[in-house]
């Protein structure tokens, strides 16, 4: 029997399998995951000792559904839970143990993972099963995968946050140690190798979002060894609204492409003579006066320039849509 007694041992074996460094792989029946692989939730400020609030209960329900979908995906290549028999659902039923005092929750994930290999042995070769078993254990039951997810989610949010205080709140999640960085690379290689494991990772992300939702609605909570405050959960769950703006732009442009293949809309690609900025724009049939249309057609055919008035819609400073409202000769001035 090959017992995996820690997260470190799981990463080491996964790395050896992916790198081809191990001469002889353990059989699926030999591999056993110890109880380090478990969800750990600690809620220090519950109003009633050992209680579980409704939002966290909802997250636990999502966790159970995710486990079922992983089994159905690995065994039947579908996430439709109707394919799972009663026996299979019983074999992969999550049991949550709620401790006394400030609420702590653990589950029987390692037992479920040890059942997984025998269920899918006819569907995959032994190496793929080992990668899946170790991957599920690390993604759902380890510390590093959860920390990595928080880091990635925080980095994405920080790019759009304008509130310095909100940015500061997320700083604690954005520092990975050298060991954590190496583990992230191993997990990434495993995800590239296994389609089912990629789906497993997506399921885990849905469960983690439910955890954040529960924390935002209740109190500060520790998940997989990382304490998350209500305000941090709120910031992570609520993407900053992106700023959209509309404005007019006038400039002299060189017409690079004129596409009239659509009977209702003409598309053009133009380049500012002054700045070199290239813009994809369009106008609907009947918008331009005939003189303007002729100027645009001539400029496209002979690589000439024209004065164009654009109606711009931009998001976060980037042009999303540009409509041509007027076309004049290149020496035109609106002051005329």
The per-residue pLDDT for 291 is 86
Please, are residues 126 and 2 in contact by the beta-carbon 8 Å criterion?
no
* Residue 118 C-alpha from the chain's centroid: 30
The per-residue pLDDT for 316 is 65
The per-residue pLDDT for 168 is 61
**What whole-number distance in Å separates Cα of residue 19 and Cα of residue 7?**
18
Dihedral Cα 19, 22, 26, 27, nearest 10 deg = 60
DSSP 81: G
**What whole-number distance in Å separates Cα of residue 279 and Cα of residue 265?**
16
Please, are residues 335 and 320 in contact by the beta-carbon 8 Å criterion?
no
The per-residue pLDDT for 260 is 85
The per-residue pLDDT for 240 is 57
Please, are residues 294 and 302 in contact by the beta-carbon 8 Å criterion?
no
In residues, how long is the chain? Answer: 336
The per-residue pLDDT for 235 is 83
The per-residue pLDDT for 273 is 92
**What whole-number distance in Å separates Cα of residue 269 and Cα of residue 215?**
49
Give the SS3 label for residue 199.
Answer: helix
* Residue 20 C-alpha from the chain's centroid: 29
Q: What angle do CA 75, 77, 79 make, to 5 degrees?
A: 95
Pairing relation of β-strands 103-107 and 96-98? antiparallel
**What whole-number distance in Å separates Cα of residue 180 and Cα of residue 183?**
5
Chunked into runs of 10 residues, the chain (336 residues) has average pLDDT values of 93 94 85 92 81 87 95 92 93 86 80 88 86 95 92 75 58 73 93 93 94 90 90 79 79 92 87 91 82 89 91 84 91 69
Distances (CA, A) of 139 to 143, 224, 280, 305: 8, 11, 43, 57
Phi, psi of 168 (to 5 degrees): -60, -35
The per-residue pLDDT for 98 is 83
Comparing CA positions, the residue from 105, 186, 111, 196 lying closest to residue 145 is: 186
Please, are residues 110 and 38 in contact by the beta-carbon 8 Å criterion?
yes
Domains of the chain, CATH where assigned: 2-237 (no CATH), 244-328 (2.40.50.140)
Number of Cβ within a 10 Å radius of residue 41: 23
Residues 6+ apart with CB under 8 A from 36: 5, 6, 7, 110, 141, 142
């Amino acid at each position: 029997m090959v017992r995996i007694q820690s997260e470190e041992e799981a990463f080491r074996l996964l790395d050896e399998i992916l790198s081809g460094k191990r001469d002889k792989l353990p059989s699926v029946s030999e591999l056993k995951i110890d109880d380090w692989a478990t969800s750990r939730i600690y809620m220090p400020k519950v109003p009633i000792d050992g209680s579980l609030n409704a939002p966290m209960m909802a997250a636990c329900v999502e966790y159970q559904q995710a486990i079922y979908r992983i089994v159905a995906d690995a065994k039947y290549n579908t996430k439709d839970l109707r394919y799972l028999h009663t026996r299979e659902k019983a074999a992969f039923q999550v049991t949550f143990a709620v401790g006394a005092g400030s609420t702590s929750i653990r589950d029987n994930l390692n037992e479920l993972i040890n059942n997984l290999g025998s269920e899918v042995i006819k569907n995959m070769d032994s190496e793929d099963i080992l990668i899946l078993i170790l991957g599920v254990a690390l993604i759902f039951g380890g510390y590093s995968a959860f920390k990595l997810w928080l880091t990635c989610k925080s980095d994405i949010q920080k790019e759009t946050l304008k509130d310095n205080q909100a940015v500061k709140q997320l700083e604690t999640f954005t520092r990975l140690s050298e060991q954590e960085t190496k583990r992230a690379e191993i997990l990434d290689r495993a995800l590239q190798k296994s389609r089912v494991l990629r789906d497993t990772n997506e399921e885990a992300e849905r469960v983690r979002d439910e955890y954040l939702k529960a924390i935002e609605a209740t109190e500060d909570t520790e998940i997989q060894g990382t304490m998350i405050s209500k305000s941090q959960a709120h910031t992570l769950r609520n993407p900053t609204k992106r700023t959209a703006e509309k404005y007019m732009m006038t400039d002299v442009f060189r017409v690079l492409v004129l596409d009239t293949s659509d009977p209702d809309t003409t598309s053009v690609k133009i380049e500012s003579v002054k700045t070199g900025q290239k813009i994809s724009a369009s106008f609907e049939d009947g918008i331009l006066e005939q003189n303007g249309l002729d100027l645009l057609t001539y400029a496209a055919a002979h690589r000439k320039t024209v004065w164009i008035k654009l109606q711009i819609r931009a998001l976060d400073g980037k042009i999303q849509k540009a409509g041509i409202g007027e076309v004049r000769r290149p020496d035109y001035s609106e002051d005329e």
